[in-house]
Amino acid sequence: MSLNSPHAPAPDPRQLFEQMLLIRAYEDAIVTGSAAGSIPGTCTSVGQEAAAVGVVNALGADDLILTNHRSAGHLLARGADPGRLLAEVMGRRDGYCQGRSGSLHISARELGVVLTSTIVGAELSMATGVALSQTMLGRPGIVACFFGDGAACEGSFHESLNLAALWHLPVLYVCENNQWQAYVHRREAMSRERVSDWAAAYGIPAVTVDGNDVDAVLEAARHAAAQVRQSGQPYLLETWTYRTRGHLEPDDQAYVDAAEREYWRARDPIATCRERLIAAGRLTAAEAATIEDKVASRIDTARRFAEASPFPPIPTAAELARGVYA
């Protein structure tokens, strides 16, 4: 992603397709590495690529991001280097946080990624504070907060929405409703079908969109971001999607109904995007294969970079506090 003005034209659909391919290839490498024991167990978001790419491409350079334990898609769509990301997951010195965060606490200030939180719903608690800071300091940019349907069942979700509405804070809440809350289906934990229904109680406008259609997500996210920018008040966007891998790698998803999994796999966001571009004459099968080869080469380079990166030295007491916010 190029961090353009929020008023910039929509990105080339082929660029969106390539970003989704990059995210999938990166996480496939995580899956393979986890199975082989060379990469620690990591939460992936395979199948959710359109949700991440559509929303992040609707943001501007001044916008800030807070995200959760399934953050690779958001980071890569924002322009993160896959080599540095993989190095961080592997605990290597050349990672974004010098190997200190693993996959669950990555921050990248140069990309406007304030934090990644493994604590379910913690980014929701932080989003109001970051948005309040933006408002009080008169800084441009809105705050995009990514969370899942599991976090929407936490008290921090309701507390965050209540304060954001009360204090008129510029937060774009993005719920990636992937149907599963760790090993529990959302129907076992939610009294409503849609997370977006809950926003009305706080006077917050909300919409649910097909999270496996990157064009639909991008359009909805651009509208939502514009609303937050113009009003200075919160908005909730729910992307209705599905993760086709387990909660934490490696995981065979033995607890998932096979028919449900196949239904969603048939709605794969990358295949859908490819077919649509080819049907519209904007991409040929040969060009798609070339992009796939380019992405595969990039991930191979990233893997070799991460593996060559050294482990950080054992820190001294003084170094333990380096890079930690006061």
What pLDDT was estimated at residue 325?
A: 63
pLDDT for 249 equals 87
For the chain, the domains span 13-301
Regarding predicted confidence, which is higher, 252 or 29?
29
Rounded CA separation 94/315 (Å): 15
Is the backbone of residue 192 left (phi > 0), alpha (psi -120 to 50) or beta?
A: beta
Please give the Cα distance from 16 to 242 (Å, whole number). Answer: 19
Question: What distances in angstroms separate CA 98 from CA 79, 105, 172, 214, one per listed residue?
Answer: 18, 12, 30, 33
Q: Which two tokens stand for residue 141?
A: 């940019």
Other beta carbons less than 10 A from residue 311's beta carbon: 10
pLDDT of residue 158: 96
Question: At residue 19, does pLDDT exceed 70?
Answer: yes
Q: What is the structure's pLDDT at 326?
A: 58
pLDDT of residue 313: 85
d(CA 36, CA 44): 16
Mean pLDDT, range 273-298, rounded to an integer: 97
**What percentage of the chain has pLDDT greater than the value 90?**
74
Fold of 13-301: Rossmann fold (3.40.50)
What confidence score (pLDDT) does residue 55 get? 98
Residue-wise pLDDT tens digits, 225-244: 999 999 999 999 999 999 99
| Per-residue pLDDT at 2 exceeds 60 | no
Q: Averaged over 62-89, what is the pLDDT?
A: 96
Q: What is the phi-psi region of residue 130: left when phi exceeds 0, alpha when psi lies from -120 to 50, beta otherwise?
A: alpha
Q: Which two tokens mark 99?
A: 């190997």
Spatial contact of 154 and 121, defined as CB atoms under 8 Å apart: yes
Higher pLDDT, 301 or 118: 301
SS3 174: strand
pLDDT of residue 71: 94
Mean pLDDT in the chain?
A: 92
CA dihedral defined by 260, 266, 267, 269, rounded to 10 degrees? 120
- Which has the closest alpha carbon to 169: 201, 204, 196? 204
Q: Answer whether residue 3 shows pLDDT above 60.
A: no
Q: Is the per-residue pLDDT at 64 higher than 90?
A: yes
Cα–Cα distances in angstroms (integers) from residue 313 to residues 100, 103, 106, in the given order: 11, 19, 19
Whether the pLDDT of residue 7 is over 70: the answer is no
| Highest mean pLDDT of the ranges 114-118, 149-153, 271-275 | 271-275
Does residue 1 surpass a pLDDT of 50? Answer: no
Q: Quote the tokens at residue 140.
A: 């441009």
Say what the pLDDT of residue 84 is: 97
Whether 284 shows a pLDDT value over 50: the answer reads: yes
User: What one-character-per-residue DSSP string does 80-116 give?
Assistant: --HHHHHHHHTT-TTSTTTTSSTTTS--BGGGTEEEE
Q: What is the mean pLDDT of residues 252-258?
A: 87
Average pLDDT over residues 34-48: 90
pLDDT in tens, 309-324: 999 888 787 777 777 7
Sign of CA dihedral 293, 298, 299, 304: positive
Cis-peptide into 250, omega within 30 deg: yes
- Predicted local distance difference test score (pLDDT) of residue 117: 87
Phi and psi, residue 204, nearest 5°: -100, 125
Confidence check: pLDDT of 4 > 60 = no
Query: Which of 108, 88, 90, 160 is CA-nearest to residue 131?
Result: 160
CB atoms within 10 A of CB 247: 19
Mean pLDDT of the region 284-306: 97
pLDDT at 218 over 60: yes
